[in-house]
Amino acid sequence: MKVLISLLLASSIFLTGLAGDNVMKAEEAQNLQQKKDLQKQAHPVFKEQKAENPMPYYLKTAALTDVPWYLLAAIDQYERNVRNTRRDLPDADGPVAILIPRHKWLGALNPAQKDRDPFFISLFDGMGKDGNGDGAAYENDPDDVLYTMAQYLSTYGSDWLDYKTALWDYYKSEKTIQVITEMAELYKHFGTIELEKRAFPIPLRYNYDYRSTWGARRGWGGLRIHEGTDIFAGYGTPVLSTAYGVVEIIGWNKFGGWRIGIRDVKNVYHYYAHLSGYEKHIKKGSIVKPGEVIGYVGSSGYGPKGTQGKFPPHLHYGMYKYDGNTEYSFDPYPYLRAWEREAYRSCRGS
């Protein structure tokens, strides 16, 4: 009897220990996810974990389907940006980030939710296809995912308008189509997906000064917050592009005066305002690179077209993130400091 009681007590202690371990593991997992969520929320363009190079997958799928590699790369990068920013989507950790919903992959009425046979998937009008010849269509296999997306695009035709129509039917968002199209233009123009380089927007040889002013109150035109960092410099100081990007907008705005908006491959919109003028070759649709002169510091804005001198000359620099649903401002100051430090390191290295 004593032996039996001892065994029961030991079993109880063991099971309690297991339960405690499971609770601790669950808490650790929850804490890790909360940390990731906070990282996403605080740093919407935080540096991604280096995954396997996706370029060979793009080139392979392009060769099999004749869909341009740079379009596949743009769709994939767009989805990676969105997934690594939004809290309601899983992080994109693999070489390919395109996330095709299960009901689209298998077919909405497919009763076999675990079946990955391409033939049966097609019977239920599912998108999923076998991209590597292993006889199965897995929604987390990079070959299968890219091949499936390429085949979907191909059903609409083979020119750019056909692809844009396919993207509209898939995403139902003009903004998303615009962002993907601009990314594709960048990849095609530079012939690479390695477009991570950044630059400080003012040449270091000029006098300038700035501090963190994002979120400060502004009153002209109605009470609002300041959505950027002001970098004070002399009239005519060159303004540099901070990233590889496409000029989305250029011209007058009553708040920002003469301004330029540039979109990069991270879904980030870079906003340069209160300029005195633009570099001659810069226009809507121009492709720019980090360190390229795009305009000049001024004091334009806060009034009708041509208004100047209502405040000291400075560059207003803002950053906005598009997450697939909305575009929102975030503080550019930490990035400016990091780019400035990198610029000084480069100068010392040369």
Which residues, 6+ apart, have CB-to-CB distance to 213 below 8 Å?
226, 228, 229, 230, 333
pLDDT at 216: 64
* 233 within 8 A of 240, measured Cβ to Cβ: no
* Alpha carbon 57 to its chain's center: 20
Q: Is the pTM of this model over 0.95?
A: no
Q: Which residue has the higher pLDDT, 38 or 75?
A: 75
Dig out the tokens for 156 from the structure. Answer: 């609409």
Give residue 34's pLDDT: 43
pLDDT at 226: 65
CB 300 within 8 A of CB 253: no
- CATH 2.70.70.10 domain locations along the chain: 208-349
- Class of the CATH-defined domain 208-349: mainly beta
Angle at 237 between CA 232 and CA 241, to 5 degrees: 90
Q: What percent of the chain has pLDDT over 70?
A: 82
Most confident segment among 100-114, 181-195, 201-215: 181-195
Mean confidence (pLDDT) of the chain? 86
